[in-house]
Amino acid sequence: MQYGPNPNAIYPNEAIKSVCYIKNIVTRPNIIIGDYTYYDDSDGAEKFEEHVTHHYEFIGDKLIIGKFCAIAKGVEFIMNGANHRMNSVTTYPFNIMGSGWEKATPALTDLPLKGDTVIGNDVWIGQNVTVMPGVHVGDGAIIAANSVVTKDVPAYHIAGGNPVKIMKKRFDDNLIEHLKKIKWWDWPAEKIFEHLEILCSGDLGKITKI
């Protein structure tokens, strides 16, 4: 019996080529994506890596995205390679222009590196969202369209704006703690299939009985 789409397929639904399971198309070892996370883009969902910018292996930062995330068209993950030295008179990157200016190449310790960018599980990122380096977005969070995510967003909160602001919790604290405990995204495919109606129900009391 089939318990949902193949998580190792590029297109979960061959009739909808704008939706791509991005775990199966990334080539960079410093991008880590969970099962069933998709990018939706009619201009080429399989080009997701083009939306992860300034990402250089020598810096070592990772983009880590959990399972079952929904990422809309126009997203941009700006990584640490975009940062300029800020503890000097000028922020201008003389070194990358060459012709002798490379003598001013900064040490990595001189750059304001923010670490890995981490997106949790079951996160919905709206259209044209920009995520800045080192941000952590918790499980079940929602990021409104056209937002610039400059700071961490807690699990099961809604955030939006430029810069992003926390707007409200999605659920009460007890339900949030329950969802963080059961981690439904780690269930086997058969169990998810069995409880699909509960996961998609507006009757939130049902999930608390699992």
**157 noted as active-site residue:** no
The token pair at 75 is 């997203």
Query: What is the C-alpha separation between 120 and 105, in angstroms, rounded?
Result: 35
The amino acid at residue 62 is K
Please list, in sequence order, all residues whose beta carbon lies within 8 angstroms of the beta carbon of residue 3, skipping any fewer than 6 positions away. 189, 190, 192, 193
Please list, in sequence order, all residues whose beta carbon lies within 8 angstroms of the beta carbon of residue 64, skipping any fewer than 6 positions away. 32, 116, 117, 118, 119
Query: What is the C-alpha separation between 145 and 167, in angstroms, rounded?
Result: 13
Annotated active-site residue in 51, 84, 136, 195: 84
Q: Which residues pair with 40 in a beta bridge?
A: 19
Q: Which residues pair with 76 in a beta bridge?
A: 130
Q: Which residues are catalytic?
A: 84
